[in-house]
Chains A and B, each alone.
Chain A
């Protein structure tokens, strides 16, 4: 019995030692040591040297009283405001000049960059693993964060260009045919009004590229989007936040209001009233051959023809047996009249387009 007890105790001691060793490994301590060493070697004046020598290795955090939270990104990103580190690689790199208009003591980091501000390892803080996955917004994806506070009107157009392009694409690909966004749209797919709060941009990107790879059994059609288009749509979707996420930045917006900027986004932007299918200048120019038009208008995304096509709507392989030309014409002109409450979106086709399509569909029997 003593032997068993002895070896079990030894095992427990080793495991506890592992726990202590685990707790003693702190990524940010290594980064801080490196930073102060670099700061010391690059110091020009005696005062700078003295400063670098006198710094303690300690956890640092930004107390964001207005937003009722703390962010510890600065435990590693120490060189935010140090001009000496202008061209250093991350994490020790000076921030761009945007920091002057967005002082970190007030704004923190997460408001623009996303991520998990309380975490102190790169993996967890950048949302690439660990307990929660809130991936950092990178590159053009940060436009969503700019837009969420500023809207479109007060910023140079290129800063929110991806949001605008994304919204045009949502329009062009008839996303509202199936998805509802702020009151407009169909019921077939999930509502997207708060999708930016529900999903990360990585999820949205992967899902747009191949819906069935992310959601098993999804009936969402595979749109043949290129990378730029997927990115732009993702950026736009990231601007669709729930009320809590919108309120999160309200204290910061209140400051902005004090500087005489408009606090409210213009009404048409807020409720996305400008998303109307035919209104978009970027809409596809239809060819007037029914067969080509069938693909050009995206019918095959939802409807099966032979063995190809989507599964959202009914297969159209033998549609002419079920509906005659007049019925098809009425249906294409106003789906709601023929199929009240159906999923079929209003496509806003003109007379000639409808004639061409009906001609093609009537051959399917």
Chain B
């Protein structure tokens, strides 16, 4: 650098050298060019080492997983970051909470953006987790050796709902107050323990300052910590269970065998293509979420008023299928259906033991289970749609084009 004839060029050369040094110091080596180096990158990088060094080429094509598990993970991270931003301003007391939310929306720099992001990412996470589970089911990806990881996934679904539900109360507006009142009422329909459970959840008999503090603590500390732990385990198990589920290899003799992977399914190094694809999913997701958050505001109604129930009082949308069932029968809708459904989900891999169909969408040999699942799914979707769009005051039925009687 000293001896360079041109000062400008010398400065640029020094800058390039600094850049290289920075890159090497961070990534422990230069940009990987050879195959050997590319494999080493995955092993040597803290974040990348959760990947295998090589993956099947089919893992890269979008229709294999539609990136749904990855999207769930990213949404969790986005919730984490935006949640921390909101925590700087939020105060979990009934007197101050609503004012803080208004301040976030009205005056705090990026406050409204962050709140919208947090809200829309949360709604998206419930949808993405459900779709991810459907993907895993329809491709038979819970077959051995992945049974236990399915259970972890079901637990993560429940934790996602818990995160969303506990967060629902925090704005302390009419919407959240009555949604949580209704949601916790569903809990109390459980036999023997129901009312006790509701009391523990709310820290009292009705939604009040203790409930707010309890939901806040669960929402920002307990549930996310547990979820983060299980997410790590879930992802680690994906790798340890042999990566994404892939179709069985058919030997010339006709006998099926899971390993080793067939030659016809080529293998590629994880770095760079898979890493880039994962980054692409993040960038597209983030761009979509930020755009949505700039265009659509998270709902907020008037401050919670325990004296003035909203009519209809609806639980958060993902519980409206349940609320619809509860409107027919509190015991069957509020207790039996959710319990049976949860048990069915949890132990699905242990009673659907017929081998075959792994890694293939809608495999013909699994048609029985696929029909059972689709019927259940359709039931959930239909009851939820009825609950969200077709129920008006006093839980009466209204078509969308029919006006509700009474003031809007």
CA distance A69 to B307 in the complex (A): 21
CB of B102 within 8 Å of the partner chain: yes
Question: Which of B99, B280, B294, B402 touches A1 (beta carbons < 8 Å)?
Answer: B280
Chain B residues near A69 (CB-CB < 8 A)? 99
Interface contact B107-A59, CB-CB below 8 Å: yes
Interface contact A120-B307, CB-CB below 8 Å: no
Question: Which of A59, A68, A217 touches B405 (beta carbons < 8 Å)?
Answer: A217
Interface contact A118-B106, CB-CB below 8 Å: yes
Interface contact B103-A9, CB-CB below 8 Å: no
CA distance A120 to B102 in the complex (A): 11
Interface contact B305-A19, CB-CB below 8 Å: no
CA distance A259 to B140 in the complex (A): 79
Interface contact B308-A8, CB-CB below 8 Å: no
Closest to A207 in B: B407
Closest to A244 in B: B305
Question: Which of B95, B110, B283, B302 touches A5 (beta carbons < 8 Å)?
Answer: B283
Residues A2 and B407 in contact in the complex (CB < 8 Å), given A9-B283, A12-B283, A131-B105: no
Query: In the complex, which range does the number of interface residues on chain A fall in?
Result: 35 or more
Which residues of chain A (1-48) have a CB below 8 Å from chain B? 1-2, 4-5, 8-9, 11-12, 15-16, 18-19, 22-23
Interface contact B294-A19, CB-CB below 8 Å: yes
CB of B276 within 8 Å of the partner chain: yes
Which residues of chain A (228-254) have a CB below 8 Å from chain B? 242-244
CB of A119 within 8 Å of the partner chain: yes
Question: Which of A1, A19, A72, A130 touches B113 (beta carbons < 8 Å)?
Answer: A19
CB of A215 within 8 Å of the partner chain: yes
**Hey, what's the 0/1 contact readout for B247-283 against A, CB within 8 Å counting as 1?**
0000000000000000000000000110011011001
CB of B109 within 8 Å of the partner chain: yes
Closest to A59 in B: B107
Question: Which of A19, A119, A215 touches B290 (beta carbons < 8 Å)?
Answer: A19
Interface contact A68-B294, CB-CB below 8 Å: no
- Count of A-B contacts judged by CB separation below 8 Å: 89
Chain B residues near A198 (CB-CB < 8 A)? 308, 407
The size of the chain B interface, using a CB distance under 8 A, is: 37
Question: Which of B286, B294, B307 touches A18 (beta carbons < 8 Å)?
Answer: B294
Which residues of chain A (110-132) have a CB below 8 Å from chain B? 116, 118-121, 124, 130-132
Which residues of chain B (89-109) have a CB below 8 Å from chain A? 95, 99, 102-103, 105-107, 109
Interface contact B406-A215, CB-CB below 8 Å: yes
CB of A182 within 8 Å of the partner chain: no
CB of B221 within 8 Å of the partner chain: no
CB of B300 within 8 Å of the partner chain: yes
Chain B residues near A118 (CB-CB < 8 A)? 99, 102-103, 106-107
CB of B284 within 8 Å of the partner chain: yes
CA distance A198 to B302 in the complex (A): 10
Interface contact B297-A131, CB-CB below 8 Å: yes
Interface contact A5-B280, CB-CB below 8 Å: yes
A-B residue pairs in contact (CB < 8 Å), sample of 30: A1-B272, A1-B276, A1-B277, A4-B280, A8-B280, A11-B287, A12-B286, A15-B290, A15-B291, A19-B110, A19-B290, A22-B113, A23-B109, A59-B107, A118-B102, A119-B106, A120-B106, A131-B105, A131-B297, A131-B300, A132-B301, A190-B406, A199-B407, A207-B407, A215-B407, A216-B403, A218-B405, A242-B308, A243-B307, A244-B305
